[in-house]
């Protein structure tokens, strides 16, 4: 069974600081993809970043980067220079072989001015 | 690019009536669309996978006769909540993957969601 766990229901960070959101997953597959989605108060789901399991290099998108540890099945998201607009729910998602995405329970991030 | 339009964004209906929600991929074709339900401060729960030209695949526990899904074209899927009851009140989100960019890692593109309130 494929499961995605986000152990931090809520987090807060001071504006301009750095925060890391954790995500672990469980799978027996070797090839898969991982994603982080952001859901702001508008509730629109927005893709933040993605990572291919066969790539050793961690993905980076501007202020967003991941720390992908395949052996540990860990996929954390680091947000640098946090901005007020980063306040949102963040969902980790796992895509194994096939078409179905598996989402974590989410982390509610609040950026404090 | 990769815009998914979902309509309506919110709807209020009376108990016993039916409500149709539309999901359109505006600038790409989607052979598969997904319908999710989300309760406040919770994750997305997959309800069904909508396949163009064939029957939808429902997740366990989702009543297919209550949540009718039609995927009539490569750009449109509809979800109809039949004989709605207050417990059906929720936030419904559709998503799709670009058929022509269906490489393994192509992400899901989401609609803006529909807030359904059944009175």
Count of A-B CB contacts under 8 Å: 50
Nearest CA in chain B to A34: B105
Q: Looking at CA atoms only, how far is residue A36 from chain B in angstroms?
A: 10
Task: Give the 3-state secondary structure percentages of chain A, helix then strand then coil, rounded to 5.
Answer: 5, 50, 45
3-state SS, B6-48, equals EECCEEEECCCCCEEEEEEECCCCCCEEEEEEECCCCCEEEEE
Q: Each residue of B63-102: pLDDT tens digit?
A: 999 999 998 888 999 999 999 999 999 999 999 987 665 5
Q: Label residue B109 exposed, middle or buried (CB < 10 Å: 0-12, 13-18, 19+).
A: buried
**A105 contacts B107? CB cut-off 8 A:** no
Alpha-carbon span A60 to A53, nearest angstrom: 14
Q: Label residue B69 exposed, middle or buried (CB < 10 Å: 0-12, 13-18, 19+).
A: buried
In the numeric block, which tokens belong to residue B41?
A: 């401060």
Q: Each residue of B5-47: pLDDT tens digit?
A: 999 999 999 999 999 999 999 988 888 899 999 998 889 999 9
Identify whether the C-beta of residue B93 lies closer than 8 Å to the C-beta of residue B38: yes
Give pLDDT tens digits along chain A (113 positions).
Answer: 678 999 999 999 999 999 999 999 999 888 899 999 999 998 999 999 999 888 889 999 999 999 999 999 999 999 999 999 999 999 999 988 777 889 999 999 999 99
Nearest CA in chain A to B42: A105
Interface of A with B (CB under 8 A): 31, 33, 35, 37, 42-47, 50, 52, 89, 91, 93, 95, 99-101, 103-106, 108
**A99 contacts B32? CB cut-off 8 A:** yes
């Amino acid at each position: 069974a494929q499961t995605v766990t986000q152990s931090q229901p809520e987090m807060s960070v001071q504006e301009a600081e750095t925060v890391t959101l954790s995500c672990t997953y469980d799978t027996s597959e070797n090839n898969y993809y991982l994603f982080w989605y952001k859901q702001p108060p508008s509730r629109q789901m927005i893709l933040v970043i993605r990572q291919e399991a066969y790539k050793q290099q961690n993905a980076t998108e501007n202020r967003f980067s991941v720390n992908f540890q395949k052996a540990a099945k860990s996929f954390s998201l680091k947000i640098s220079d946090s901005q007020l607009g980063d306040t949102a729910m963040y969902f980790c998602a796992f895509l194994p072989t096939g078409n179905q995405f598996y989402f974590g329970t989410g982390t509610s991030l609040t950026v404090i001015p | 690019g990769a815009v998914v339009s979902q309509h309506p964004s919110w709807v209020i209906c009376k108990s016993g009536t039916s409500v149709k929600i539309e999901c359109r991929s505006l600038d790409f074709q989607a052979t598969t669309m997904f319908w999710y339900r989300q309760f406040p401060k919770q994750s997305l729960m997959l309800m069904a996978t909508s396949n163009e030209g064939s029957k939808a695949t429902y997740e366990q526990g989702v009543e297919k006769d209550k949540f009718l899904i039609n995927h009539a074209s490569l750009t449109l899927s509809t979800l109809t909540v039949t004989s709605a009851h207050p417990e059906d009140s929720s936030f419904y989100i559709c998503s799709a993957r670009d058929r022509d960019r269906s490489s393994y890692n192509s992400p899901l593109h989401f609609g803006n969601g529909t807030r359904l309130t059944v009175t």
